[in-house]
Chain A
């Protein structure tokens, strides 16, 4: 499916259409400008960044090496990156490991009350995290989990699981029922049906779902700053610690921000179309 199929074919006013195209470009560039500016500032000397906006300057990578250097007393980028990396990776794997069978049981061979179960999963997303943070904090403190990766892994899993179940169910629903019937008539056991028929079809959906989980977990700040303010903290907390010590460090901050956002932005660009199909199309069509 490609866009642009709904515009009039005959009698389109050439000039109006052209102007709208120009407008689209201008609006898009304005929308993107803050991101562009952030990246640009990361390549500046502080004197160039902390002044009136400058578009032309001698680009430097010094800020990037500064922020990634280990500094005593401050959180180091490499530590935060490692914490983020492992919390996000493991929680996403655990989410997928639980969500795939669950989505299967809500879609392909549904349990009797699949709709109620799906509602339950989604309804947990309506419970504000803030309502749970106090007991979580106390439980984590009493269990000695404060400032550990484990607590974030557990909570990121809980945070992303409902969304993953919801999206995966959408993708599983797109597997034609006849294919599974054909496989079972062809003598395939359930394990073989899943491996040979279902997974190849939903693979792109699995990737998109996992990516969305990665995005939300990577960007998560509230739980990380509440439960892991010291050790085991993550990239968003590290960025924020750069903000607090700002002074005239805009270029440095920009370099830090750029590094922090880069992995997820790239992932999102790759998966953009499928992500939305899982969120929207599967639910509606």
Chain B
């Protein structure tokens, strides 16, 4: 560009608009592959599900797909098995999320102190989270809880209690036990991040002000941990509402079929009535949206904080 003679009024609004438009697209382009891929792979199947859910459609034996309105949904209300599955889902998700958050916080508090071999202990503690769910379920059901070979039962016997076949007697709680075992370490890591991010000078100030350890924990540490606990709640819920592997491996669905497992049983797991199963899965989505609305509010709180900072 040659030296321009500066005049007082240069109308550059057209040029500015062009530059801004170009910049907008330059910013959008890197986002597009991920966005388009996600839309295609996650949203389109969901629309199909929505469509299947208002049809009568069994593929084994193959029958033509017919529109049947909302009768699949009406069926939901009366289907006792579905209601059981729904109750199982709620119990399983709520109890495993809350318990693992509780246990995880406890472990984090223990590990946040000066302990000999801290890093080693943390490494051991996170291992359950890394274990394949199929393997975790298998280890617990056949090597820990099993009536014949289980270590737990062997211990019970040595203290004089009769052996119990835990998994078939308490299928839901056996699954919850394994879920808590796997997810507590994850919660622990999140809470630990929160504890170590604490402002040490605030704690010192509180101590100087004469606060007791208990007081410090409830009045300072816990409020500071809140966003971390919320994040744990959120991520835990996302994954634990979808539990399938543990149900399949530990019980084969006997006595502890949650909604995901129930949908599976009704369709590709042997039921083959896709229309009805789709309606079930839509209900799962509705429930998830309820949780998601809460969850996204948590998230948006986190992002707000980030922007204010």
Contacts and interface: CB of A to CB of B under 8 A. Distances in A.
A207 interface: no
B148 to A, nearest CB: 8
A122 B45 CA distance: 17
Contacts of B125: 28, 31-32
B38 A128 contact: no
Nearest to A29: B124
B285 A127 contact: yes
Interface string A260-285: 11001101110010011101110111
B143 A250 contact: yes
B32 to A, nearest CB: 8
Interface in B207-258: 207, 213, 221, 227-228, 231, 235, 238, 241-242, 244-245, 248-249
Contacts of A236: 132-135, 245
A67 interface: no
A98 B34 CA distance: 5
Given A130-B264, A277-B193, A264 B132 contact: yes
A218 interface: yes
A134 B112 CA distance: 45
Contacts of B274: 134, 138
Contacts of B277: 134
A8 B126 CA distance: 26
A98 B37 contact: yes
B115 A24 contact: yes
A99 to B, nearest CB: 6
A98 B30 CA distance: 8
B124 A130 contact: no
Nearest to B264: A130
Contacts of B147: none
Interface in A149-205: 154-155, 157-158, 161-162, 165, 173
Contacts of B242: 128-130
A131 B49 contact: yes
Nearest to A112: B24
Nearest to B157: A52
Given A3-B192, A53-B151, A154-B41, A130 B28 contact: no
A243 B143 CA distance: 12
A38 B31 contact: no
Interface in A1-33: 1-8, 17, 20-21, 23-25, 27-29, 31-33
Nearest to A266: B130
A92 interface: no
B259 to A, nearest CB: 7
Contact of B37 (A49, A161, A246): A161
A135 B144 contact: no
Given A98-B33, A115-B303, A126 B295 contact: yes
Nearest to B43: A124
A122 B196 contact: no
Interface residues of A, number: 108
Given A102-B31, A221-B245, A254 B143 contact: yes
A135 B31 contact: no
Contacts of B156: none
B45 A135 contact: yes
A272 B124 CA distance: 11
Contacts of A265: 127, 130-131
A249 to B, nearest CB: 10
Interface string B20-44: 0000101111110111011001111
Contacts of A123: 292, 296
A15 to B, nearest CB: 14
B173 interface: no
Given A24-B115, A155-B41, A133 B189 contact: no
Contacts of A102: 30-31, 33-35
A133 B112 contact: no
A59 interface: no
Given A130-B244, A222-B245, A8 B213 contact: yes
B112 A4 contact: yes
B30 A101 contact: yes
B130 A268 contact: yes
B45 A128 contact: no
Given A8-B207, A34-B144, A280-B228, A221 B244 contact: yes
Given A8-B207, A128-B284, A131-B49, A27 B107 contact: yes
A105 B33 CA distance: 11
A105 B30 contact: yes
A143 interface: no
A125 B241 CA distance: 11
Contacts of B112: 3-4, 6-7
A63 B287 CA distance: 45
A207 B272 CA distance: 42
19 contacts: A1-B197, A3-B196, A7-B112, A17-B114, A31-B181, A35-B131, A115-B300, A122-B299, A126-B238, A128-B260, A129-B260, A132-B45, A133-B267, A134-B49, A134-B274, A158-B37, A222-B260, A272-B123, A284-B302
Nearest 4 pairs of A and B residues by beta carbon: A101-B30, A135-B48, A102-B34, A126-B292
Given A119-B299, A134-B49, A240-B248, 4 more contacts: A6-B203, A32-B127, A125-B238, A261-B131
